[in-house]
Structure 1
Amino acid sequence: MLIHPHINPIALELGPLKVHWYGLTYLAAFAAFYFLANWRARRAPFVAAGWDRQKVEDMLFFGVLGVVLGGRLGYVLFYKPAYYLAHPAEIFAVWQGGMAFHGGLLGVILAMYLYGRRTGRPFFEVADLVAPCVPVGLAAGRIGNFINGELWGRAADPSLPWAMIFPESGSDLPRHPSQIYQFGLEGLLLFVLLWVYALKPRHRGAVSGLFLLGYGVMRFTAEYFREPDSFLGLLALNMSMGQWLCIPMIVLGAVFYVLAKKDAFQPESRKA
């Protein structure tokens, strides 16, 4: 039986400064985004729209704020609203842990909208540039979860070759390494699908719609192997909070993709 190795969550200590592995995965995510977004900015139709390195850097600044603030507020509102209502001073105590992808996504959507308003760019032009660059960052985050031994999976059949005991769970049950499942699904697989799809010119909004749809389906699936949060458990229809939050993503992604195919997001001057 595999046992999750105890890995010190602190990667480096320099006097009072402590650098955590999870923080390094965030840095890796932002670095990967910067590299990939700059590559996409040099491709048609983004070159024709005036994208360059400076604009990518400005957009990244907005995006980082959206991820951090949205991720934290999403965790507060979606997962522990009663607790933080009683302890408002802890809302921004991010060092205590607690970030939510769906909140981070909403934060990034708002950041892209604000960046678009500030620079006079259509929302889906910005979103289509960003979408294929995001899954690599999600993959980095799941590696951070695995290193920390958090967000472990549900109980697994002991005969499963890769079933793993997570001592951090407080039990010796063999479990699915759900962090690795999510790393593979919503990280690597989604990245490959989106990146290959986006290599050819697509209708405006199609890449963004496919991201929402693809992530929603893959996260919804992975949640069947991930242990629900102990303070929430399974909700209605035996679904986790993560699955319920994925449903609007799947619906909106499908709607956006269909509308994009009908040129609903293309400027009137460019429609056939």
Structure 2
Amino acid sequence: MLTYPQIDPVAISIGPLSIHWYGLMYLVGFSLAYLLMVRRANLPNSGWNKDQVGDLIFYSAMGVVLGGRFGYVLFYNFPKFLDDPLWLFAIWEGGMSFHGGLLGVLVAVFLFGRRFNKTFYSITDFGAPMVPIGLLTGRIGNFIGGELWGRVSDVQWAMVFPKGGPLPRHPSQLYEAFLEGLVLFLILWLYSRKPRPTMAVSGLFLVGYGVFRFSVEFVREPDNHIGFDLLGWMTRGQLLCVPMILFGAAIIYLGYKNHANLAQKKGA
């Protein structure tokens, strides 16, 4: 069993103002994504410039925060919202959902596309390889905050989390940081280095994240107030990943099919 590193979740305190590591990790993630997107924007014929990248990061950040909060309320604690609608705005109590954040980003992408006259999938294909960076830093923030721990386990690297009771648990935040963050980033970054059919990069992100998240959920502790959903073993996170995987696979197929049809017409 490993010892959980006792790190103060508050990184900086200035009077009544407290800045948590979780928030700083989001800032680091967006900053790294910005730098990598600018690098790709500077490539010949990228169709992007530095100012557009900055605006896309801003739109995406708003989508993550607003969508993440709305998603958590809708997907994970809707009865509490019905009892107290103002709880939706109690962001200081925590509670963010990746799937809600994803929906928020998609809305932001739609609005960004209308403003800058870019197609929806040209934006998502450009930005998708950078999303895992935020997932990586965000999960590290979860680990530092001692939240979203795994299920009880006797593996050698299990840890006792301060808020998770006296028994050792899987450090599932680190599993997600590795798979949804580092591994998925490498897959998407390498795959997108060459021109791919429209929608293919976006679809690969959805499939990759869905598969990795679905897998880690087998060792991640489900929310106490929800427990297990379908069939008595599927968690809410797994249930939300299924449509992601199916939709991602569908748009990859359509992307390559449309690309082949266009190539055939040009060759005719």
Instruction: Name 2:161's counterpart in structure 1.
Output: 166
Structure 1 pair 94–212 and aligned structure 2 pair: CA distance change class (3 A)? same
AA aligned to 2:252 is Y
The one of 241, 251, 255 equivalent to 1:246 is 241
In the alignment, the residues of structure 2 paired with residue 175 and residue 45 of structure 1 have an alpha-carbon distance, to the nearest angstrom, of 49
Structure 1 residue 264, shift from structure 2 partner: 6.3
In the alignment, the residues of structure 2 paired with residue 232 and residue 265 of structure 1 have an alpha-carbon distance, to the nearest angstrom, of 45
Structure 1, 176-185 or 88-97: larger mean CA deviation:
88-97
Q: Report if the CA contact (8 A) 1:37-1:133 is conserved.
A: yes
Say yes or no: does 1:234 pair with 2:231: no
The one of 77, 82, 88 equivalent to 1:80 is 77
Structure 1 residue 167, shift from structure 2 partner: 2.5
Q: Sequence identity of aligned pairs in percent?
A: 52
Structure 1 residue 44, shift from structure 2 partner: 5.1
Structure 1, 237-246 or 160-169: larger mean CA deviation:
160-169
Q: Report if the CA contact (8 A) 1:204-1:265 is conserved.
A: no
In the alignment, the residues of structure 1 paired with residue 176 and residue 4 of structure 2 have an alpha-carbon distance, to the nearest angstrom, of 17
Say yes or no: does 1:92 pair with 2:86: no
In the alignment, the residues of structure 2 paired with residue 43 and residue 265 of structure 1 have an alpha-carbon distance, to the nearest angstrom, of 26
In the alignment, the residues of structure 1 paired with residue 87 and residue 197 of structure 2 have an alpha-carbon distance, to the nearest angstrom, of 44
Instruction: Name 1:59's counterpart in structure 2.
Output: 56
Instruction: Name 1:5's counterpart in structure 2.
Output: 5
Q: Which runs of 5+ in 1 are unaligned?
A: none
Structure 1 pair 247–44 and aligned structure 2 pair: CA distance change class (3 A)? farther
Query: For residues 49-104 of structure 1, what are the alpha-carbon distances to aligned partners after superposition, in whole Å with 9 as ceiling and x for unaligned?
Result: 3x100011111111111000000000000000010111111201111100000000
In the alignment, the residues of structure 2 paired with residue 257 and residue 38 of structure 1 have an alpha-carbon distance, to the nearest angstrom, of 26
Instruction: Name 1:196's counterpart in structure 2.
Output: 190
In the alignment, the residues of structure 2 paired with residue 13 and residue 164 of structure 1 have an alpha-carbon distance, to the nearest angstrom, of 28
In the alignment, the residues of structure 2 paired with residue 94 and residue 81 of structure 1 have an alpha-carbon distance, to the nearest angstrom, of 15
AA aligned to 1:242 is G
The one of 194, 201, 204 equivalent to 1:210 is 204
AA aligned to 1:179 is Q
Instruction: Name 1:262's counterpart in structure 2.
Output: 257
Query: For residues 226-255 of structure 1, what are the alpha-carbon distances to aligned partners after superposition, in whole Å with 9 as ceiling and x for unaligned?
Result: 000000001112100000000000000000
Structure 1 residue 5, shift from structure 2 partner: 2.6
Structure 1, 55-64 or 245-254: larger mean CA deviation:
55-64
Instruction: Name 2:145's counterpart in structure 1.
Output: 148
Instruction: Name 1:183's counterpart in structure 2.
Output: 177
AA aligned to 1:28 is V
Q: State the superposition RMSD in angstroms.
A: 1.8
Q: Report if the CA contact (8 A) 2:13-2:19 is conserved.
A: yes
Structure 1 residue 152, shift from structure 2 partner: 0.5
Q: Report if the CA contact (8 A) 1:11-1:19 is conserved.
A: yes
The one of 128, 132, 142 equivalent to 1:131 is 128
AA aligned to 1:12 is I
Say yes or no: does 1:106 pair with 2:103: yes
Q: Report if the CA contact (8 A) 1:45-1:201 is conserved.
A: no
**If the length of structure 2 is used for normalisation, what is the TM-score?**
0.94
Query: For residues 31-63 of structure 1, what are the alpha-carbon distances to aligned partners after superposition, in whole Å with 9 as ceiling and x for unaligned?
Result: 0111111112123552xx3x1000111111111
In the alignment, the residues of structure 2 paired with residue 14 and residue 31 of structure 1 have an alpha-carbon distance, to the nearest angstrom, of 23
The one of 200, 217, 222 equivalent to 1:223 is 217
In the alignment, the residues of structure 2 paired with residue 40 and residue 173 of structure 1 have an alpha-carbon distance, to the nearest angstrom, of 46
Structure 1 residue 3, shift from structure 2 partner: 2.8
